[in-house]
Amino acid sequence: MKATYHKHILDFKRPSGTSRGILKQKETWFIHLIDGEKQGIGECGILRSLSIDDVPDYEEKLRWTCENIYLGKEVLLKELRTFPSIQFGVEQAFLSIQSENPFLLQPSKFTEGKEAIDINGLIWMGDAAFMKSQIKDKLKAGFSCIKMKIGAIDFDTELELLQSIRKEYSVNDIELRVDANGAFTPSTALEKLKRLSEFELHSIEQPIKQGQLEEMAALCKVTPLPIALDEELIGVFNIEEKKKVLEVIQPQYIILKPSLVGGYAGSSEWISLANKQNIDWWITSALESNIGLNAIAQWTYTLQSNLPQGLGTGSLYTNNFDSPLTIQNGALQYDIAKSWNVPFIKK
């Protein structure tokens, strides 16, 4: 079996704002396996400035992985413990090459086009007019759950946007989630959560920066609004450390991005620990191309969560790969009438 890696720069259709800045491009990498006539593909979806494996020797580690592919999946996953995005790429690639179709990793009613995955509609940061137009578009597209990025523009303006949604749509009509990406300070977070809770929100992701376990624990204890940990899970590799994070903070939810927390195996560890503590969870993509999104979606469907998932990022780019993944009526679907087009995968 031979392995090679490829870099691909994804271009956003329009600059997308987060509290960490404006995104215009997204770098991603692929591991490509060839064994005779069989091929496998896996995406290593690194997120610069957020991924724990955003290090100078990232490409060197990819090269090492391809040169040592003969070691097999289990050995590689152990060796790549501090490179969660490459771990996930390896998991996908081995699953892919073992499948009849390199893109059909976990066959199900989802991949047969018979069932869909409910997802949240993502509202990117920007000025009030831009955010309002996004909200209207998502509601028109049939989404019943909307996730809004907050923390980059004036907080009162964000509250006004939420108020305008709630004036028109009750909590029974639209579920609202917000994501602060750690934008609040521990001293102001509780007051802001109180004001946000007036709009009957489902939850808030990562109100304060990760790594402040005691402060986050204190917040989760008294919050009027359910808190979901996101960035807090990044870089926590050891199962005992994962257990400690959940036991100390006791969040209402955790959010799992396989590319950032060690793929299927790393995410499954978090889910198992969360279930033991009655902490609910959902899965989110991390701006992968359709290749990584496909791998996350097929696995997510098998988990049978009853919450809307965060898998709506495939349509953000001008140069994504053609795939059967489509969004209809606020749900991710697999359109079996559509085919894949990935240049380095021979048909």
Closest to 116 (Cα-Cα) out of 341, 340, 320, 335: 335
Which residue of the set 61, 149, 192, 242 is catalytic?
A: 149
In contact, 224 and 199? CB cutoff 8 Å = no
Dist. CA 197–CA 171, nearest whole Å: 12
The tokens describing 320, both together, are 């994504």
Question: Which residues neighbour 269 within 8 Å (Cβ) at sequence distance 6 or greater?
Answer: 239, 242, 262
Which residue of the set 257, 276, 338, 346 is catalytic?
A: 257
Active site residue 149: yes
Active site residue 7: no
Partners of residue 34 on adjacent β-strands: 2, 39
The number of beta carbons lying within 10 Å of the beta carbon of residue 157 is: 12
Looking at the chain, list the stretches that DSSP marks H as alpha helix, in order from N- to C-terminal side: 58-67, 73-79, 84-97, 128-140, 155-168, 186-197, 213-222, 239-249, 258-261, 263-276, 290-303
Please give the positions annotated as active site: 149, 257
